[in-house]
Amino acid sequence: MLLAIDCGNTNTVFSLWNGESFVSTWRMATNPTRTADEYFVWLSSLMSSQRLTASVSEVIISTTVPRVVFNLRVLSSRYFDCRPLVVGRPDCLLPVDVRVDAGTKVGPDRLVNTVGAFDLYGGDLVVVDFGTATTFDVVDMDGAYIGGVISPGVNLSLEALHQAAAALPHIDVTMPGQVIGKNTVDCMQSGVFWGYIGLVKEIIARIRAEHGRPMKVIGTGGLAPLFQQGDVLFDEFDESLTMHGLTVISNYNKEFAGQ
Ligand SMILES: Nc1ncnc2c1ncn2[C@@H]1O[C@H](COP(=O)(O)OP(=O)(O)O)[C@@H](O)[C@H]1O
Ligand SMILES: CC(C)(COP(=O)(O)O)[C@@H](O)C(=O)NCCC(=O)O
Ligand SMILES: [K+]
């Protein structure tokens, strides 16, 4: 089985792929000091609690946190006896072009989203991924990643309000009942929720105008469905887009190696 690892700045997601479907998915907080042995203890106890006996024979990693790569490589070699593919490294081939300024290191998660979305939906796309940062990845007609937008993430914005203003509490984002808040929490929720809807709509409208061809908008990341409640922002929502992209990249590299 393939173990696909998507490590973001906040959470790290592990999915087991049996070649046809995802058998299981587990999530842990990202922590660059975690060792290979710690990952394995956690993974193996989850696998045995679900009576998963099939063994991992391949590993693919996408990470926006470079420091975790060393320990995930050790995890792969020590416990799964394989050399992992690491997206963004020269030996990991991508089935799409990357057309950005020379020297730019595009976040691997954005490249994986591009590959996954192009495979499922074809070209001319905007992928909106609600993570630590909210990223807009623009996919050209031929599947190439041609750039995008990086905005402060939803929870980052809420946390910044709380950190900077003594009277503002820590809150979670929800869709407020009305725009005009009658108390502090409702006011903050309204600002972040409707402000974010505005941000997403404006950026998508401007990307569409600049791109000049009809585009589909794909939403991904845990908070995407919440914002879809406030307005129709996305044509499609796909929670496992990044994981799907990892399986496509893994297959592509295997096909290439087999030739
Ligand atoms: N379903 C959800 N509901 C509420 N908050 C969520 C949900 N999924 C993720 N989050 C929050 O969104 C933020 C980004 O999480 P995540 O998508 O895991 O980011 P990253 O990929 O950057 O690690 C985190 O603060 C996380 O707690
Ligand atoms: C923009 C990001 C921080 C998003 O990370 P995430 O929210 O998934 O943790 C990440 O894709 C990144 O570090 N990018 C590097 C710069 C770039 O993509 O151009
Ligand atoms: K993101």
pLDDT digits (tens, 9 = 90+) for 68-104: 999 999 999 999 999 999 999 999 999 999 999 999 9
* 30 annotated as a binding-site residue: no
Residue located nearest, by CA, to atom 15 of ligand 2: 107
pLDDT digits (tens, 9 = 90+) for 148-157: 999 999 999 9
109 lines ligand 2 (CB under 6 A): yes
User: Is residue 197 pLDDT above 90, yes or no?
Assistant: yes
Backbone angles phi, psi at 126, to 5 degrees: -120, 125
Q: How far apart are CA 25 and CA 17, in angstroms?
A: 9
The phi-psi region of residue 182 (left if phi > 0; otherwise alpha if psi is between -120 and 50; otherwise beta) is alpha
* 9 annotated as a binding-site residue: yes
- Max Cα distance, the chain (Å): 65
Selected catalytic residue, list 101, 109, 119, 172: 109
Q: How far apart are CA 116 and CA 98, in angstroms?
A: 14
Report CA-CA distances (Å) from 32 to 62, 68, 104, 223, 256. Answer: 14, 5, 23, 24, 32
Letter for the amino acid at 162?
H
Residue located nearest, by CA, to atom 15 of ligand 1: 131
pLDDT digits (tens, 9 = 90+) for 107-166: 999 999 999 999 999 999 999 999 999 999 999 999 999 999 999 999 999 999 999 999
Residue 53 confidence (pLDDT):
77
Start-to-end CA span in the chain (Å): 21
Residue 259 confidence (pLDDT):
62
Token output for 80: 């799964």
The answer to whether ipTM exceeds 0.90 is yes
* 97 annotated as a binding-site residue: no
Residue 215 confidence (pLDDT):
98
* Residue 129 three-state SS: strand
11 lines ligand 1 (CB under 6 A): yes
User: Is 109 an annotated catalytic residue?
Assistant: yes
9 lines ligand 1 (CB under 6 A): yes
